[in-house]
Structure formats: structure tokens, C-alpha cells
Amino acid sequence: MSIGGATFPEDADHLLDLVEIADTALYKAERNGRDAVRMGVPS
């Protein structure tokens, strides 16, 4: 299982932005192999 996350308000102030950042973090975690955890970094 891979996990992507984002934190409020450090990564973003709005819900949709947080979801997008967490989704991107999850995608990057999955690309790095199984059982990965990745926190988002706002762009």
C-alpha cells in the first residue's frame, strides 16, 4: 500500500489544493515502488 499526504496549512490553504497535492504525492509514492509513503510539496 502506498500513501500520499498533504498538511494544512503548510502545503495549501484550500481543500481542493490539498487533495491535488496529496494525489500527486500518492502518484510519486506509487512510482517509487510498493509500500511507500510520500508527503506533498506545493508547487
User: What are the pLDDT digits (tens) for 1-11?
Assistant: 999 999 999 99
Give the pLDDT score at 33.
81
For residue 1, give Cα distances in angstroms to 5, 11, 14, 35, 42. Answer: 13, 23, 26, 5, 23
Mean pLDDT of 18-33: 91
Give the pLDDT score at 16.
96
Give the pLDDT score at 40.
86
Give the pLDDT score at 34.
81
Domain range for 27: 3-39
Rounded to 5 degrees, what are φ and ψ at 29? -65, -45
Give the pLDDT score at 42.
65
pTM score, whole prediction? 0.82
pLDDT band at 43 (very low <50, low <70, confident <90, very high): low
The total domain count for the chain is 1
